[in-house]
A and B are shown apart, each in its own frame.
Chain A
Amino acid sequence: MTRTEEKTDGKGLAIAAESLFLLNLLFPVLPLIVLGFLYFRHRNSPRLLVECHVKQTWIMALLSTALFVIINLVAYWMGGYQSLDNLVSIHSLVALEAYTLLVILPFAVPGLLGLTKAMSGQCYRFPFLGKFL
């Protein structure tokens, strides 16, 4: 495959989107912004790979980030993050555990599969929610 063909079928874009999605699981928010930029720039792209990977990762990343925010808000309401000295407390630790088990785990495996499909230039649908996107 030549460089030009690669650009036209959107493989690079698909890989970037899946990578940003995975990165957003580890370091939420900043990769989401970049992913959002990619999505809004290419949302009307007719290319199947872009449609399949970019839109899906954008919505799933929004969902995972929302869960991240909710889990941390609950930790805040329960008494965590009250001061800088209190950053590492049982509340933040439970939030970290909950985020790892409830968000990273179910989102990372489909993300991984999506990334490998993108690298092979194939389409991929996330299980369950992917069918509705």
Chain B
Amino acid sequence: MKYKSQKVAKLYFIAAIGLFVGQILFGLIIGAQYIWGDFLFPEIPFNVARMVHTNLLIVWLLFGFMGAAYYLVPEEAETDLVMPWLANLMFWIFLTAGAATILGYLLVPYAQLAELTKNELLPTMGREFLEQPTITKIGIVIVALSFLANIGLTILKGRKTVINLVLLMGMTGLAVFFLFAFYNPVNVVLDKYYWWWVVHLWVEGVWELILGSILAFILIKTTGVDREVIEKWLYVIIAMVLITGIIGTGHHYYWIGTPAFWQWWGSIFSAMEPIPFFMMTVFAFNMVNKRRRNHPNKAAVLWALGTAVMAFLGAGVWGFLHTLSPVNYYTHGTQITAAHGHMAFYGAYVMIVLAMISYAMPMLRGREAANSTKSQVLEMWGFWLMTISIVFITLFLTGAGILQVYLQRFADNPMPFMVVQEKIQLFYALREIAGFIFLSGLLIYIVSFFVGSKEPEATIEGEVVPT
């Protein structure tokens, strides 16, 4: 660790992993409720468990992004964070607000939570993924602004690189687009229209900039390839992200009451959205193939390469699978969407945060560059178990989705939703089994932090001659 203030990242990473465990536990609860409808009812109803599952995902990824930025920015800017105390303070505020919100979901009926938090003063609750009470949303804005001020001023004070500027752009976009969570018009079409400005322009827009910059940072550090080469790739990738992703928002506007031209615009631009992910994969493998040195942290390199491949598959291929409007006419809102959502979030964002944690954590815990071989072997077991099980979760959900589309929307005598749910039970059971394997992978990943910590660091096997 080159700069003392980078240490604040550790807190964020620990919180991220802790919340990740919570997210997976609630995922397993929902998975069980798909099989046994009254499982844990009325203590934890399905809608609450789902809300906790998705909200925890968003919150822990935000923790992960902020931790990554607090580690990356000082190193890129070659100067300490201007206000490390603020980063620490915001951590505790964000964690407290996040925990209170989740407890609110679990302990109080949602309508009562809205009353308790005075939602009527500025109504923003009740919308998927944006269920947080208004007061929490205001807290998120304060945390985001403090965070932006901290990393922005650090970058201004220090060296400006393509990586930290792209990261800053992504983080600023994240904060700006979140403001649309406060716009809650009565007109349902308008509501959905701008709701997607938060949801879509986050995950298929500005978050991809964050992903690209973190990936580029890890690749520079682990491969030793010239910064200029990596920065040129990053330029092209983010250009393609923005070209395809912004108008690609149109693939959410097919059936919400917006003009029909969105079916063309949405189809064409979102069909091109796999391109930046494709480039990211070529970029990552190319850099590793051309590496100038072998990095002792093999687990971090594995996570980085895994991110590129899984993001391409989950966000790219599975996104393309149902993005054209004639296809989406049938598949909209089915388990095919869930399949895409699971693999895309895991491949693009979970993996990049874990890649950054894998790269930075050894240094944050006092190592020179990497954990011991024993610890890394265990971590790589975690990687494979989680990755393979998410592939199976995706395949089972895709199978469920295809059958659902046929039985519910295309068969000569279409069946009602709940009847179809019974017909696809087998897929849900298989998905739940894969979910438990995912949890075991996550637990092994966590155990890897505590194993081999007294053993010496893994060493470099030999310098690589560039091809």
Q: Could you list which residues of chain A lie within 8 angstroms of chain B, going by C-beta atoms? A: 88, 90, 93, 96-97, 100-101, 104-105, 108-109, 112-113, 115-117, 119-122
Are A116 and B312 closer than 8 Å at their CB atoms? no
- Pairs across A and B, CB under 8 Å, 21 listed: A90-B330, A96-B324, A97-B327, A100-B317, A100-B320, A101-B321, A104-B317, A109-B309, A112-B282, A113-B285, A115-B282, A116-B281, A116-B285, A117-B285, A117-B289, A119-B286, A119-B289, A120-B286, A120-B289, A121-B467, A122-B289
A93-B327, A100-B317, A105-B317 are contacts. A112–B289 as well, Cβ < 8 Å? Answer: no
Main secondary structure, interface of B, reads: helix
Q: Which of B69-126 touch A at CB < 8 Å?
A: none
Q: Is B313 an interface residue (CB 8 A)?
A: yes
Taking CB atoms and an 8 Å cut-off, the chain B residues in 289-318 that contact chain A are 289-290, 309, 312-313, 317
Is B281 a contact of A112 with CB atoms below 8 Å?
A: yes
What residues of chain B lie closer than 8 Å to A104, measured between beta carbons? 317
What is the distance, in angstroms, from A14's C-beta to the closest C-beta of chain B? Answer: 13
Question: A93–B312 Cα gap in the complex (Å)?
Answer: 22
Question: In this complex, which of A105, A116, A122 has the most chain B Cβ atoms within 10 angstroms of its Cβ?
Answer: A116
Chain B residue numbers with a CB within 8 Å of A109 are 309, 313
Complex CA distance for A93 and B313, rounded to whole angstroms: 20
A85: min CB distance to chain B, Å? 13
Q: CB < 8 Å: which of B289, B309, B320, B330 contacts A93? A: B330
B129 at the interface (CB under 8 A from A): no
Minimum Cβ distance to chain A for residue B298 (Å) = 18
Q: With a CB–CB cut-off of 8 A, which chain A residues contact B317? A: 100, 104-105, 108
In the assembled complex, B398 has its CB within 8 A of some CB on chain A: yes
**Contact between B282 and A119 (Cβ–Cβ < 8 Å)?**
yes
B347 → chain A closest CB, angstroms: 12
Instruction: Report the 6 A-B pairs with minimum CB-CB distance, sorted nearest first.
Output: A116-B285, A120-B289, A88-B326, A116-B286, A120-B467, A121-B467
Instruction: Quote the shortest CB–CB distance from B399 to chain A (angstroms).
Output: 10
Most chain B CB inside 10 Å of its own CB: which residue of A90, A113, A120, A122:
A120
Q: Whose C-beta in chain B lies nearest to the C-beta of A100?
A: B321
* A81-B281 Cα distance, complex, nearest whole Å: 36
Interface bits B321-340 vs A (CB < 8 Å: 1, else 0): 10010110010000000000
Are B330 and A112 in touch, CB under 8 angstroms?
no
B387 to A: closest C-beta gap in Å: 13
Could you tell me if B312 and A120 are in contact, using CB atoms closer than 8 angstroms? no
